Amino acid sequence: MTSLNALRRPDRYPRSAAYDPQWVVDNCMGPNPLWLLEDLGRDCVLRPGMKVLDLGCGLGMTSIFLAREYDVEVWAADLWIAPEDNRTRFRTAGVADRAHPVAADARELPFDEGKFDAIVGVGSYHYFGTDDLYIGYITKFLAPGGQLAVAVPSVRRELRDVGGIPDHLRTGIGWEVLSFHTPNWWRFHWEQTHLVEVTAARMQHEGWADWKLWCEVCAEHSSDETVRRGSVRDLRMLDADRGEHLTFALITARAPA
Ligand SMILES: C[S@@+](CC[C@H](N)C(=O)[O-])C[C@H]1O[C@@H](n2cnc3c(N)ncnc32)[C@H](O)[C@@H]1O
């Protein structure tokens, strides 16, 4: 048995520890979004009043965290989740005045160029950002000196360098695991454009262990049976992986001032 309170880890994630673990488990769409965002926040500068785009915000939990913890104004954009649903969640969380839900495809954003002081993506950027040309598109929406910060599932070595997709990743995730890349892959990809300066590109400390703990809690405590079943499947994959491949990458960069 893993208790829900195992998600409260004030030593490593003090801000996330203040959030009700049941609420966190029931509002996530991927592994440990608050831990990832809190960690990513250590590599960024987020000041009150900044305009931040939460790209692929899912059920808006990361947008709520951004609005509450950093007092920034957030545009919460997602392709699959209806903005009305996120509006209700933002009202309930008391951040409706500074979190704006938007229905948007990351490839066709309905914003003015240069609008955002920061663009943040937690567990979403790998769905579109591996397109070599996407960085040229997304950086247009950054203000001068604006920051791009993403946390994505990652591999410790590029899959082409390990000879292909290991069986347990093919079973657990499928060929889509090809969108998982190392922090250095992302660094090279962004840096070579000269459109941004990469300020950090690292693996999350104990990323695999965090992911496993998250799945153990979700497998027992999620209110959604599909999530419980998915977590059991992910646990099988993580156990087979033993931390050899799977982790998270945190990459941050800044546009020229
Ligand atoms: C794994 S979920 C993560 C959601 C949230 N950030 C979290 O951690 O709970 C990935 C999200 O990316 C969004 N997404 C995928 N492709 C997208 C696109 N082209 N444009 C906007 N959002 C996209 C999905 O709608 C989904 O909500």
165 CA → ligand 1 middle, Å: 23
Domains of the chain, start order: 11-204+249-254 (3.40.50.150)
Distance of CA 1 from the midpoint of ligand 1 (Å):
30
* Signed CA dihedral, 179, 187, 208, 211: sign only: negative
Strand-by-strand arrangement of the 99-103 sheet: 99-103, 73-78, 51-55, 116-122, 142-155, 246-254, 197-203
- Expressed in angstroms and rounded, the spacing between residue 178 Cα and the centre of ligand 1 is 17
Q: Whose CA is nearest to atom 4 of ligand 1?
A: 58
**Which tens digits make up the pLDDT trace of 104-121?**
999 999 999 999 999 999
Residue 155 confidence (pLDDT): 98
Task: Out of 80, 179, 211, 234, give the residue to mutate to test ligand 1, the one with the largest number of ligand atoms within 8 Å of its CB.
Answer: 80
Q: How far is CA 30 from CA 25, 59, 123, 214, in A?
A: 10, 10, 6, 10
21, pLDDT greater than 90: yes
Reported confidence tier of residue 249, pLDDT bands at 50, 70, 90: very high
Task: Determine the atom of ligand 1 nearest the C-alpha atom of 54.
Answer: 6
pLDDT at residue number 1: 83
Is residue 32 within 8 Å of residue 49, measured between CB atoms? no
- Nearest-CA residue for ligand 1 atom 26 is 58
What pLDDT is recorded for position 44?
96
Give residue 236's pLDDT: 98
The mean of the pLDDT values for the chain is 97
Pocket of ligand 1 (CB under 6 A): 28-30, 33, 56-58, 61-62, 78-81, 105-107, 122-124, 127-128
The pLDDT value given to residue 232: 97
User: What's the gap in Å between 80 CA and the centre of ligand 1?
Assistant: 7
Residue 125 confidence (pLDDT): 98
Closest CA to 250 of 206, 195, 214: 206
Q: What pLDDT, in 10s, does the model give residues 124-183?
A: 999 999 999 999 999 999 999 999 999 999 999 999 999 999 999 999 999 999 999 999
- Strand ranges for 104-245 from DSSP E: 116-122, 142-155, 197-203
Residue 124 alpha carbon to ligand 1 centre in Å: 5
pLDDT of 207: 97
Asked if the model's pLDDT at residue 192 lies above 90, the reply is yes
| Nearest-angstrom CA–CA distance, 132 and 177 | 17
What is the distance of C-alpha 125 from the center of its chain? Answer: 7
Burial label, 2 (beta-carbon count in 10 A; 0-12, 13-18, 19+): middle
Nearest CA, atom 2, ligand 1: 29
pLDDT bin (cut points 50, 70, 90) of residue 54 is very high
**Per residue in 89-107, is it b (16+ CB within 10 Å) or e — as a string?**
bbeebebbebbbbbebebe
Average pLDDT over residues 210-227: 96
